[in-house]
Amino acid sequence: MKKLIQTLTETFSPSGYESAIREVIRAEIDGLADEIRVDALGNLIVRKKPTKGKDARRIMIAAHMDEIGLVASHIDDNGFVRFTTIGGVYPQMLMGARVRFYSGLPGIVHTEPLDKPTDTPSVDKMFIDVGAKSRADCPIKVGEVAAFERPFLDLGDRLVAKSMDDRIGCVVAIEALRALKSTPYDVYFVFTTQEEIGTRGAETSAFGIDPHLGFSIDVTAWGDTPGRKNFDMALGKGPAIKIKDGGMLSDPRIVEWMIQTAEKAKIPYQREVLLGGTTDARAMQLVRAGVPVGCISIPCRYVHSPSEMVDINDVQNAVKLVVALLGNPASGL
């Protein structure tokens, strides 16, 4: 699993440019599903048909493929690249960061002089240095996209990489699909596009699938480092079952289904109430006449930074939980 995590996190694919990660995932799930297709927005839709029956309930599981990034907006006379953000990129995470453009060209992010060394620069004061000496010899053009450039780091149980959000959710979906031998449901694993800029891929794919219920697999924030308060979430204590986030209330029936399944299978879990942010589940919930949804979250330190950290045990237990949910019929849903 660690090798798969490394492969997915080191693949360059910010929002709108998911073709590379889609091909990596497609190669991993080849032969594991009954149907595989790509829709107009680039979502990879992977169907696992029910073992018996033709009128099984459709369940959609969404994990987004994209990552946050930057896009060049202006090249100045000295060849420095001005940029804007793709998704929730925090300026304090950018100082000194190394990035790589879609073309493969690397660059370093820095800022104009600050009034005080302790000030946090705004994005409009920052630039990417690609080693150019002038606008004429700058190899970057307006509109080219970049993403963080950081290698995968194995710290034993703790794993660090850029784009754990949400390649780790994709890993859980891939491994669950690999382990799921039979299901009473008509299951659609959807590796979605453009989540970081508004859960767009989940919205369009859910409209096409028209699921009876669904859930997303994504990361959540953390509460177990110095100074973190009022958020009960720790690495290594199990995947989180989301009750609420900044954009979505989970259906109580989905929450209860997940909790009962985890307890019956003796899978450790945490209860999540996230004060801000949301996932693909919000978009799924509002499609057509409405879809009951929930979310399984992987606790992740330093979300939306170049070095996001997860615990391998949480990932493995998330896989077990997804397989247990999909492998057995549930009452009351």
Residues taking part in catalysis: 195
> Packing angle between helix 164-179 and helix 2-9, nearest 10 degrees?
140
**Dihedral sign of CA atoms 198, 288, 186, 313 in order:** positive
3-class secondary-structure state, position 176? helix
β pairing state of 158-161 and 126-129:
unpaired
Backbone angles phi, psi at 137, to 5 degrees: -100, 10
Environment class of 329 (CB within 10 Å of its CB; exposed 0-12, middle 13-18, buried 19+): exposed
User: Exposed e or buried b for every residue in 124-154, given b needs 16+ CB within 10 A?
Assistant: eebbbebebeeeeebebeeebbbbbbbebee
Helix then strand then coil, % of the chain, to nearest 5: 25, 30, 45
3-class secondary-structure state, position 67? strand
- Of the chain, the end-to-end C-alpha distance in Å amounts to 32
DSSP letters of 302-329? Answer: TTTSSSEEEEHHHHHHHHHHHHHHHHS-
